[in-house]
Amino acid sequence: MAENRNLAPTWVTMAGFGFLTLNSGLAIYSARGDPASVLFVVGSYLALLLLFRCLRAYERAPPGSPEKGRARRAVWPLTTLLTAAFSSP
């Protein structure tokens, strides 16, 4: 059975991104007087979007393809960035 690697995002994925966007917007609104907090929320939001895009590219790429390697190399720094950002005091 051949699998379709070009599937559209599910409603659960779209709902998750909608919640992430709404939550990030509310956090930015709440922290509008604190530029460091706004920068943290915006940076985290963009890093998460890029991470999920890279993971999707990794899933769609055929086994052994250069696209799979590029996506994997992009995931490591993004996960490290997010881990450092959320674990720093």
- Summarised one tens digit per residue, pLDDT across range 4-55 is 556 677 888 889 999 999 999 999 999 989 999 999 999 999 999 999 999 9
- Summarised one tens digit per residue, pLDDT across range 54-76 is 998 998 888 888 999 999 999 99
Is residue 3 in a domain?
no
**CB-count exposure of residue 75 (10 Å: 0-12, 13-18, 19+):** middle
**How many structural domains comprise the chain?**
1
Q: Can you give the pLDDT at residue 7?
A: 66
Is residue 80 in a domain?
yes
Is residue 51 in a domain?
yes
Length of the chain: 89
Could you list the residue range(s) of the whole structural domain that residue 38 is in? 19-87
Is residue 25 in a domain?
yes
Distance separating alpha carbons of residues 35 and 38, to the nearest angstrom = 5
Is residue 74 in a domain?
yes
* pLDDT grade for 1, boundaries at 50, 70 and 90: very low
Give the pTM.
Answer: 0.81
Is residue 5 in a domain?
no
